[in-house]
């Protein structure tokens, strides 16, 4: 029997459609869930075979291959990656960065330089609004804490980084994707992961209901999020957005560009889900 493939997935709602049904394949896949930064660390150290890594980490680890046609992306508002501030963005001088974040932190640095025209100091902290905003003018928060935050009563403005990226470039933003070292996957595994994506997209409402655990508000928000904000393909538009992100990241000294490579030697699917 072939050894099981160790999969490291992100422990946020937006990742659940990509692993739909994989838990039933314990004969082939050993699946674990971690924050995005931990997924990247596990892949870099070789503790998993395939990781759902933040896209900036492609520039920082070994030369990885991607699963063709599969990503976590958005076109415009993403809802779960945002800068929260009580000041006008032009007056922000310090920003606390969510310690779970890698790609979002890099994107924010690009947006500060290219879109917001500010040069703040950055400090990395655990994702707790009160602590972050006591220590900085604004806080970058990602994932479920950002998606389900209720900040209006606190007088905070939510600046959506997906919206800001589209305003800057007109392109989708790719937040994460499956990546691993060459040879980690065979063709059957590629097809299985693509099929899990398709099944997960189709089951979005059920996934949100299970994830919301009986909380009607969270369930409704989760359903809308998976339907309206998330994209799970990696086609021409997503690849253009990814390449532009890497170009601007290199300009900001956040990593050196390298060519995209895919398991099976494939180009990314044109799927737009």
3-state secondary structure at position 3: coil
Q: What is the mean pLDDT of residues 141-152?
A: 81
Taking 90 as the threshold, does the pLDDT of residue 100 lie above it?
no
- Compute the mean pLDDT over every residue in the chain, rounded to the nearest whole number: 92
User: What ranges make up the beta strands (E) of 126-201?
Assistant: 138-142, 157-160, 173-180
pLDDT at 85: 93
DSSP class per residue in 27-86: TTEEEEEE-HHHHHHHHHHTS-SEEEEEGGGGGTSS--EE-TT--EEESS--SSEEEEES
Q: What is the mean pLDDT of residues 175-181?
A: 97
Whole-number Å distance between alpha carbons of 66 and 242: 13
Fold of 81-169: D-Maltodextrin-Binding Protein; domain 2 (3.40.190)
pLDDT tens digits, 208-239: 999 988 899 999 999 999 999 999 999 999 99
* Fold match between domain 5-73+173-265 and domain 81-169: yes
Give residue 173's Cα distance to chain centre.
9
Q: What is the mean pLDDT of residues 149-173?
A: 88
pLDDT at 150: 72
SS3 for 101-127, per residue?
CCHHHHHHHHHHHHHHCCCCEEEEECC
pLDDT tens digits, 47-58: 999 999 999 999
pLDDT at 273: 41
Whole-number Å distance between alpha carbons of 175 and 78: 10
In sequence order, the 6+-apart residues with CB closer than 8 A to the CB of 59 are: 246, 249, 250, 254, 255, 256, 257, 258
pLDDT at 154: 64
Name the band, by pLDDT with cuts 50, 70 and 90, for residue 149: confident
**Domain-by-domain residue ranges, the chain?**
5-73+173-265, 81-169
Q: What is the mean pLDDT of residues 16-29?
A: 93
CB burial string 15-50: b at 16+ within 10 A, e below: bbbbbbebeeeeeebebebbbbbbbbbbbbeeebbb
Q: Which of 269, 232, 199 is nearest to 25 (CA)?
A: 199
Which H or E run contains 169? Answer: helix 161-169
Fold of 5-73+173-265: D-Maltodextrin-Binding Protein; domain 2 (3.40.190)
């Amino acid at each position: 029997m072939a050894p099981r493939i160790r999969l490291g997935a992100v422990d946020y709602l937006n990742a659940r459609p990509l692993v739909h049904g994989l838990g039933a394949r314990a004969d082939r896949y050993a699946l674990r869930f971690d924050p995005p930064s931990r997924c990247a660390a596990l892949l870099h150290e070789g503790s998993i075979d395939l990781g759902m890594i933040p896209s900036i980490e492609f520039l920082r680890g070994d030369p990885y291959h991607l699963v063709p046609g599969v990503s976590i992306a958005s076109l415009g508002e993403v809802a779960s990656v945002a800068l929260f501030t009580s000041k006008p963005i032009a007056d922000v001088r310090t920003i606390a960065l969510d310690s779970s974040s890698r790609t979002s932190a890099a994107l924010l640095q690009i947006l500060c330089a290219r879109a917001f025209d500010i040069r703040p100091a950055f400090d990395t902290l655990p994702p707790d609004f009160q602590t972050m905003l006591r220590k900085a003018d604004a806080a970058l928060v990602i994932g479920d804490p950002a998606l389900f935050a209720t900040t209006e009563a606190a007088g905070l403005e939510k600046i959506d980084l997906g919206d800001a990226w589209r305003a800057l470039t007109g392109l989708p933003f790719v937040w994460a994707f499956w990546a691993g070292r060459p040879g980690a996957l065979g063709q059957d595994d590629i097809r299985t992961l693509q099929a899990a994506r398709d099944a997960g997209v189709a089951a979005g409402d059920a996934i949100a209901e299970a994830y919301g655990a009986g909380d009607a508000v969270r369930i409704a928000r989760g359903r809308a999020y998976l339907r309206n904000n998330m994209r799970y393909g990696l086609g021409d538009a997503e690849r253009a957005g990814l390449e532009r992100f890497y170009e601007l990241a290199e300009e900001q000294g956040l990593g050196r560009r390298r060519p995209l490579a895919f398991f099976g030697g494939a180009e990314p699917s044109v799927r737009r889900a």
